[in-house]
Copies of this chain bind each other. A is one copy, B any other.
Amino acid sequence: MIANTPQPPYYAVIFTSLKTPDDQGYNEMAKKMASLAAQQPGYLGHESARDGVGITVSYWRSMEDIRNWKQVSDHLAAQQLGIKQWYSAYKTRICLVERDYGFEKQG
């Protein structure tokens, strides 16, 4: 559930959102988009959590891969539905991951 990304540099898209009360169809679409993203060239992984605010971070090889994913037609349709129905606000941040480090308990 922590994305197994390669050595930096690589890119991250931080998508932070607040939902409207009407989230009919949202979970299904979120799963579909996660699965579709994973099939795109340059996809490196993603992490997602929601309690109140939702944060989804997806990781990509390059800015061009991010641009291409933004334009995939089923994804464009989902973005439109998000604005029309599911989200009261969101912010997308495109970032260059310069360094990373971590820790994992053994056993």
Task: List residues of A whose CB falls within 8 A of some B CB.
Answer: 1-3, 5, 8, 12, 14, 16-18, 20, 47-55, 57, 63, 83, 87-105
Contacts and interface: CB of A to CB of B under 8 A. Distances in A.
Contacts of A57: 14, 16, 55, 57
Given A2-B17, A12-B93, A49-B55, 13 more contacts: A1-B53, A2-B89, A14-B14, A49-B51, A49-B52, A50-B51, A87-B103, A89-B105, A91-B100, A93-B100, A94-B99, A95-B95, A95-B97
Stoichiometry, copies per complex: 2
Given A2-B16, A92-B100, A102-B90, A55 B51 contact: no
14 contacts: A1-B18, A2-B16, A2-B17, A2-B53, A12-B12, A12-B14, A49-B55, A87-B105, A89-B103, A90-B103, A92-B101, A94-B98, A95-B95, A95-B98
